[in-house]
Amino acid sequence: MFLCLIFAASCTKTDKKSMDIQPPIAKKKPKELEKHGDVRVDNYFWLNDRENQEVIAYLEEENEYYQKMTAHTEAFQTELFQEMKSRIKEDDSSVPYKLNGYFYITRYEKGSEYPIYSRKKGSLDAEEEILFNCNELAQGHDFFNLRGISVSPNNKLAAFAVDTVSRRQYTIQIKNLETGELYPDRIENTTGGAVWAADSETLFYTKKDSVTLRSDKIYKHRLNTPSGEDELVHHEEDETFYTFVYKTKSRDFIVIGSTSTMTSEYQILPADQPDGTFKMFSERERGLEYEISHFGDYFYILTNKDGATNFKLMKTPISKTSSTNWQEFIPHQDEVLLEDIEIFKNFYVISERDQGLNKMKIVNWANGDSYYLPFESETYVAGTTTNLDFDTNKLRYFYIAMEAPYSIIEFDMETQGQRILKEQEVLGGKFDKANYRSKRVWANARDGLKVPISLVYHKDTPLNGSSPLLQYAYGSYGNTTDPYFSSVRLSLLDRGFIYAIAHVRGGEYLGRPWYEDGRLLNKKNTFTDFVDCSKFLIENKYTSADHLYAMGGSAGGLLMGAVVNMAPELYHGVIAAVPFVDVVTTMLDDSIPLTTSEYDEWGNPNEKLYYDYMLSYSPYDQVQVKEYPNMYVSTGLHDSQVQYWEPAKWVAKLRDMKTDGNLLFLDTNMDAGHGGASGRFEALKETAKEYAFLLDLEGKIP
């Protein structure tokens, strides 16, 4: 008690309770894992069995410990949840988009967790036709996700898929939109997506391997026939690839794609010839990536062919699709990443990323005239949105800034006039974007490069080192975390937090080379970039080590595990959501979902070079006897992306080896998977837990 009085500023309710509540200690059952002559001893390998009641009991003990240790925050969690929920317009709806004579709408009703999908024929004034009310369909399920709605060309049928387990293994069904009848066709263990041929009777879909969950087979299904009789159209036998099927925007071709991290291959079939044979577009070449779009007599190919690291656009006639016939249409640029092309009848739109910023270039097919949409901020996100109508001059795009909600804008590419179709409403009566500031700064990485950081904060938040700051990053797969707006995040900003997105290597914020420099044998750059950004934020008085927090999920959870091993002294607290932390063991197990298809991202540890490198940063293997920051770790029992046992083993090992008295929580959702809870409001409860953890450490809970 004497010590608590002396250090009253840092002694929280949690500190007092921790004197009485002891965490569970997982049993050690040593298992030797040998590879390349190296023997690792894994004391917690036994947690790798969700059917084992001893494992379930341990996870429940950890949950109980977390709940007891945070009982004093429960009322505040509820307050946060209600606060975040109050900003969301409950009876919201999407901007309608037109497809094949119908306007399609996604809307929510007040108090509902799930969306309602509907459409109106010909006019927005027409009577609404409910396609799917997910609130009704979700009844009786702890988890529910409907996806992949695909309406037949004759507008009479809809294929859709449902997952009620959260393993991302979807069951496809077919609904008659005229009668409401649900057909007996049931196709299990799919990715959820389905593509109709032009006859409105033939459906192409992707199946998953039942063990690895790799999408490896494309099937053809005939309406009103047993799925067991479906014809196998394509089997992707290379375990480092996954396959998928879709229809071109022109609706003229059905396309089968096969891709790995660094190689692509496509096959095409005229949509009006469902019984025909798919034609190879251009056979795979190791390291050659490409995507295809169809317009008129040509295919347009976004590709890295011939060393175009930041990609270029090429074209080829429909009859000559092999890469030997491709001709340059838009050349490669060393400093600008070419991200996408959106094709319309009279115009095409090129999406670029220049120094991290989104740019959209509009080009007239007839005369080649072009111009860029004007954007000025350095913390914005912009891009094309739903543009399914080919024969229109109206482009729909979205715009978001870190301090301002998103807008969906309709832009007339002919007249250059525009109108806002929808602005995100932030309810509650307290939000005014003028109260917030955003900026972009550049941290010095240890190898001399500059790493951009996007920041947002309340205008009254002091920038003198005293403010708490939450630093987020992902940094893998070339996925870029853009500087987006979040109404949920306001609960931190309004309580004095600064929010920072570190655009570390491993993403593509600064182009494809930025990604290449953060994968395989360059992966550690992702981790050191994050640490160097943290040091920059401390040195420049945005925060201090006593008030700096770090957060990442999935591969970003790997990042969290790496940085707490490398520089634990920089962080007061860390949130690791569904973290990928047992890198070596997972990547050596080709029965685990996603493993083989990710060798080009992380490396194949069956090769000693990659084994040694991965082992040198794998968070679970690198846990040391030393102090670690306060940590909140979350997972889902049914996670198909990062298996629950990775964070469970990591927490067990940390408990055994760390020398501090800081908080360490493992919170397992026993009903959900990688994405957490399925309802739009239920998910906020998980965010409330994370925010309460941070605010409790800051002494900001009433």
pLDDT in tens, 386-421: 898 888 999 999 999 999 999 999 999 999 999 999
CA proximity to 131, closest of 180, 194, 183 = 180
pLDDT of amino acid 1: 26
Q: Which of 170-184, 530-544, 634-648 has maximum average pLDDT? A: 530-544
pLDDT of amino acid 219: 97
**What tens digit of pLDDT does each residue of 208-223 get?**
988 888 899 999 999 9
**Exposure on the CB side of residue 465, measured as CA atoms within 13 A:** 9
Residue 354 has pLDDT above 90, yes or no: yes
Q: How far apart are CA 496 and CA 498, in angstroms?
A: 7
pLDDT of amino acid 211: 83
CA proximity to 409, closest of 400, 417, 398, 401 = 398
Q: Is 224 left (phi over 0), alpha (psi -120 to 50) or beta?
A: left
Asked if 229 and 254 touch (Cβ cutoff 8 Å), the reply is no
**Sheet architecture: strand order including 298-303:** 290-295, 298-303, 312-317, 327-330
So where are the chain's domains?
52-85+429-697, 342-425
Mean pLDDT of 622-629: 98
Q: How far apart are CA 94 and CA 492, in angstroms?
A: 27
11 pLDDT band, cuts 50/70/90, is very low
**What tens digit of pLDDT does each residue of 245-297 get?**
999 999 999 999 999 988 999 999 999 999 999 999 999 999 999 999 999 99
Name the least confident of 467-476, 590-599, 616-625: 590-599
pLDDT of amino acid 640: 67
**Exposure on the CB side of residue 247, measured as CA atoms within 13 A:** 22
For CA atoms 103, 148, 636, 530, the dihedral sign is negative
Q: How far apart are CA 197 and CA 247, in angstroms?
A: 9
**Sheet architecture: strand order including 129-133:** 97-99, 102-107, 116-121, 129-133
Give how far Cα 442 sits from Cα of 453, 480, 501, 667, Å: 6, 17, 12, 35
**674 assigned to active site:** yes
Residue 593 has pLDDT above 90, yes or no: no
Asked if 557 and 583 touch (Cβ cutoff 8 Å), the reply is no
670 pLDDT band, cuts 50/70/90, is confident
17 pLDDT band, cuts 50/70/90, is very low
Asked if 364 and 374 touch (Cβ cutoff 8 Å), the reply is no
Residue 12 has pLDDT above 50, yes or no: no
- More confidently predicted of 91 and 626: 626
Length of the chain: 702
pLDDT of amino acid 377: 82
Element (H, E) at 360: strand 357-364
Can you state the percent helix, strand and coil of the chain, rounding each to 5?
25, 35, 45
Give how far Cα 651 sits from Cα of 384, 459, 664, Å: 42, 38, 8
Give how far Cα 621 sits from Cα of 442, 484, 558, 591, Å: 32, 34, 12, 21
pLDDT of amino acid 598: 86
**What tens digit of pLDDT does each residue of 432-443 get?**
999 999 999 999
pLDDT of amino acid 594: 63
pLDDT of amino acid 9: 32
Asked if 376 and 383 touch (Cβ cutoff 8 Å), the reply is no
Locate the DSSP E strands across 89-226: 97-99, 102-107, 116-121, 129-133, 145-151, 157-163, 170-176, 182-196, 202-208, 215-222
The percent of residues above 90 in pLDDT, for the chain, comes to 82
Mean pLDDT over the full length of the chain: 92
Single out the catalytic residue among 554, 597, 634, 640. 554
pTM score of the predicted model: 0.85
pLDDT of amino acid 435: 96
Residue 667 has pLDDT above 50, yes or no: yes
Mean pLDDT of 159-172: 88
Single out the catalytic residue among 118, 674, 678, 696. 674
- Compute the C-alpha angle 214/218/223, nearest 5°: 130
Q: How far apart are CA 509 and CA 117, in angstroms?
A: 34
674 pLDDT band, cuts 50/70/90, is very low
**221 assigned to active site:** no
Q: How far apart are CA 451 and CA 532, in angstroms?
A: 9
Residue listed under structure tokens 């945005």: 542
Residue 326 has pLDDT above 80, yes or no: yes
Q: What letter would DSSP give residue 445?
A: P
Asked if 548 and 539 touch (Cβ cutoff 8 Å), the reply is no
Mean pLDDT of 201-214: 91
The percent of residues above 70 in pLDDT, for the chain, comes to 95
Q: How far apart are CA 380 and CA 490, in angstroms?
A: 17
| 15-38 exposure pattern, b = at least 16 Cβ within 10 A, e = fewer | eeebeeeebbebeeeeeeeeeeee
Mean pLDDT of 506-512: 95
Residue 672 has pLDDT above 80, yes or no: no
**What tens digit of pLDDT does each residue of 102-153 get?**
999 999 988 888 999 999 999 999 999 999 999 999 998 888 889 999 999 9
Displacement of CA 493 from its chain's centroid (Å): 23
Identity of the residue numbered 45 = F
Residue 101 has pLDDT above 70, yes or no: yes
pLDDT of amino acid 649: 97
Single out the catalytic residue among 185, 216, 639, 667. 639
Q: Which CATH class is domain 52-85+429-697?
A: alpha beta
**15 assigned to active site:** no
Mean pLDDT of 358-380: 92
Locate the DSSP E strands across 424-546: 436-444, 450-458, 469-472, 498-502
597 pLDDT band, cuts 50/70/90, is confident
Asked if 281 and 267 touch (Cβ cutoff 8 Å), the reply is yes
Mean pLDDT of 48-68: 96
Element (H, E) at 372: strand 370-372
